[in-house]
Structure 1
Amino acid sequence: MRRSKRMRCPDGRWTNEWSCEEKEEGEEEDRSVETRKRPKWDSRSVERDRRPGRFHHYRTYERCRKSSRGLEFTERRAPEPRPKPRGHEKRASDRAVPEKEQDGDGHWHHYSKSLARCESREQQHHSGHSHSKSHRRKRTRSFEDDEEGHLIYHNGQVLRARYEIVSTLGEGAFGKVVECIDNTEDGMRVALKIIKNQARYREAALIEVEVLKQMKALDCENRLACVRMLDWFDLHGHICIVFELLGLSTYDFLKANDYMPFTVDQIRHMADQIFRAVHFLHQNKLTHTDLKPENILFVDSDCDIEYNAKLKREERTPKNLDVKVVDFGNATYDHEHHTSVVSTRHYRAPEVVLELGWNQACDVWSLGCILIEYYLGLTLFQTHDSREHLAMMERVLGPIPAHMLQQTRKRHYVHHGKLDWDECSSSGRYVRKHCKPLKQYMSSKSWEHEQFFDLLQKMMEYDVSKRITLEEAIKHPFFTPLRKESEK
């Protein structure tokens, strides 16, 4: 299992508040918030700090809302410096951290079989201030919690007379992930997530369990590329969820490959699986809301390695292009309350940034951002600031429609019916330097590249009513070669 975090504030600290909105740099203090009390607490960001070999991510219980499904909280963060763009260079610290993303010590990215080959499985745990006072709780001689509410365990310990703990894969503010041997399944290796024994994390974990159960029931033959829950149980107040053990995330594969882009053919094979998996969610009235390269995992990340004498570096080619979508903890049903802010910053749709309301189309925008990242090897919208994010969109995709700017509650983003943006400012120069019209990113004028960018253009349409659906995207000519292969 590979672990990684992305960018953080210089001092590594973040402030969480119970709220329905995020606070962005430069915004006024009198933003509207929900009337319930919002206890403040400090934590280290889990947003997109990409330090290698650290944390894992299947479910990030950062936002626990008060609705029919539980509590949701979002992060409010301190002002942070603009990331230094590095193009195709190593950019572990270039990725901005999503405001809602991490809470506490880390962000769990995935459960990976291949982690041990590349990095140490253990990281020193840095304790932060808890949201509420906690104490060491002893239940039996075998089970005990630490001061943070994590279950105390040891390698070799067997849970429920079935799951033998092999090693720790990662830890975060809401729990830990361990690799286990399932002694009832001929020693099969699984990933077991052990949630903290705290009410808000338990409630959020139970929400995820219900979503995963429904997905498993609807896809009983396991045909779609969605991660599969194998089991779950309550262990002395800790909700434990058992998942299949997967390979590296597509982001970590890019990182290990020195951010060398995937080929168009590789993107086509992965995109077809991803689109069908997310379309399956949409058909069942669910929106994922947090699609990003970290949440798309290779089933098996073994690869062929060849030395490129021209570039003087090794290049990795995945042997198997099968992928799975993970992290359904933030998935939202159509009938449920929709918080104003969803998605990790870089993959956040314009209607979300402008707080115009959102629906399943926000997943389509996120997938468009993911595909262009696979193609370029770098993040398209590399920013921490919403206004700058919108300016980048305009630089890449053209002006934001006037009707969207007229309807937004973010009136300070608009001036005389246009985005209030100074192109001569330092931010303006940054945007001009690092963004360009979408078609200018094409590395070839071949048919498959033309079709790929035509699909991207349709997926990154500002107007939600005009944005392509995943049902339509699956039928796009870009996927014609796959259909021809299946017919043979």
Structure 2
Amino acid sequence: MGKTSSSKTFMDCLCLCLSCGGGGAEEATAEAGDTKSGHPPYGPGDVLQERYQVVDTLGEGTFGQVLRCWDSARGGRGVALKILKKVDKYGEDDARLEILVLEKLSRKDPASKIPCVQMLDWFYHRGHVCISFQLLALSTFHFQKENNFLPYCLQHLRHMAQQICHAVSFLHHNKLTHTDLKPENILFVHGDYFLTYNTHKKCSEKRLRDTSVRVVDFGSATFEHEHHSTVVSTRHYRAPEVILELGWSHPCDVWSIGCILFEYYQGSTLYQTHDNEEHLAMMEHIHGPIPQRMIQTSRKQVYFQHGRLKQKDISKSGRHVSAKCRPLRECIQSQSEEHQQFLDLLEKMLEYEPSQRISLSRALRHPFLAPPGSAVGSQSPDFR
């Protein structure tokens, strides 16, 4: 019903999704002693930089490992310390770009009013780049997974959506596109919950006491003036303009957010596929035909014939698309005003044409996110 994952903690998201970082406050030479996997052999009680005492390992991934540590320089508070594998020149360049973004976020938002994760420090240690972050709770995906993929209630969904849109609008306002938004990259600040009975599903359900979130993973974030990779975003949250190689900008983040909100609402992924043609076929089943302008200007003409998407109805893939996809309106759980407002917002976020897709500054003024009397949608500060 949901995507598979190997870890329960939010640090899995940092370990697997925050791209490797680099740069340093001090030069250090590589030392022997790393494990065969490339991770340094730190254990409980070890101390780094004479301030970070290791408590336990929170996760390991392709780029390194994440440790829970007590930071003596911050009064013994818990932090998440990401330790990267030793990287080559190319990887270190990527790391410097990520840290540049994180430093600008911290500099422009020292009080952490924007719901983005805060980088606290970074340094070299024994040849490894290390980045410390505020310690957060589970990702929105992992909480939903542990809750048997039950949907978030609409009140919680609205609060989470307001924060996500506010955080990413802040990035867009400052000429930055996140490019890898997904439920695993949105983490709860606190993990406390209580149990209640879900009368509709006839089962117990976890309900969070606080739905404050933070957006994480700026390893793929791209400024407008930087090179734009052909392919961005995790498959399930990838916008049509990316698949069709039409170029992308801020609107691709908006599409990803629309997919995320659907997943929160429904408890399942909107596009459960790993194939471009199948992905496009799913889009047509859900949203209608792809606009001719996008087809005609796409670099991926192999997916089309006579100006239309090639049909795969008789194939296993085609049957999967027909069985799994239905128009958005058929997925809405109620005809009440707030559910219809949510549908309207989703449709505007999942508009094919990037130029016609709602901006996040407008989304924050949408009736679903900004009911009468709401203060949502304040101006975001600039990077300077």
Please list the CA deviations of residues 124-152 of structure 1 after superposition, one character each: whole Å capped at 9, or x if unmatched. xxxxxxxxxxxxx973xxx7323443222
Answering whether residue 7 of structure 2 is matched by residue 56 of structure 1, we say no
Partner Cα distance (2:81, 2:18) in 1: 19
Partner of 2:39: 150
Partner of 2:382: none
Partner Cα distance (1:334, 1:291) in 2: 17
CA contact (8 A) 1:232 1:241 kept: yes
Answering whether residue 93 of structure 2 is matched by residue 203 of structure 1, we say yes
Q: Which has the higher helix share?
A: 2
Equivalent position to 2:126, from 236, 242, 255: 236
Deviation at 1:52, TM superposition (A): 4.3
1:161-240 counterparts in 2 under 5 A? 161-199=50-88, 200-240=90-130
Deviation at 1:485, TM superposition (A): 7.7
Answering whether residue 227 of structure 2 is matched by residue 337 of structure 1, we say yes
Deviation at 1:266, TM superposition (A): 1.2
1:36-435 counterparts in 2 under 5 A? 49-53=4-8, 56-58=12-14, 60=16, 139=31, 144-199=33-88, 200-308=90-198, 311-435=201-325
Opposite residue 275 of structure 1, the aligned amino acid is: C
Deviation at 1:307, TM superposition (A): 4.1
Opposite residue 459 of structure 1, the aligned amino acid is: M
Partner Cα distance (1:150, 1:59) in 2: 12
Runs of 5+ consecutive residues of structure 1 not aligned to the other structure: 1-5, 8-47, 71-136
Runs of 5+ consecutive residues of structure 2 not aligned to the other structure: 24-28, 377-384
CA contact (8 A) 2:137 2:191 kept: yes
Partner Cα distance (1:150, 1:52) in 2: 18
Please list the CA deviations of residues 321-354 of structure 1 after superposition, one character each: whole Å capped at 9, or x if unmatched. 1011000111001001101100000000000011
Deviation at 1:312, TM superposition (A): 4.9
Deviation at 1:51, TM superposition (A): 3.1
Deviation at 1:482, TM superposition (A): 6.8
Partner of 1:22: none
Partner Cα distance (1:196, 1:412) in 2: 39
Partner-residue secondary structure (3-state), 2:5: strand
Partner-residue secondary structure (3-state), 1:58: helix
Report the CA distance shift for 1:302/1:245 in structure 2 as closer, same or farther (over 3 A): same
Partner-residue secondary structure (3-state), 2:13: coil
Report the CA distance shift for 1:446/1:459 in structure 2 as closer, same or farther (over 3 A): same
Q: TM-score, normalised by structure 2?
A: 0.90
Partner Cα distance (1:51, 1:61) in 2: 13
CA contact (8 A) 2:115 2:214 kept: yes
CA contact (8 A) 1:145 1:152 kept: yes
Q: TM-score, normalised by structure 1?
A: 0.71
* Larger RCO (CA within 8 A; separation ≥ 6): 2
Deviation at 1:62, TM superposition (A): 9.4
Report the CA distance shift for 1:332/1:59 in structure 2 as closer, same or farther (over 3 A): farther
Partner Cα distance (1:465, 1:478) in 2: 22
Partner Cα distance (2:363, 2:179) in 1: 18
CA contact (8 A) 1:196 1:202 kept: no
Partner-residue secondary structure (3-state), 1:479: coil
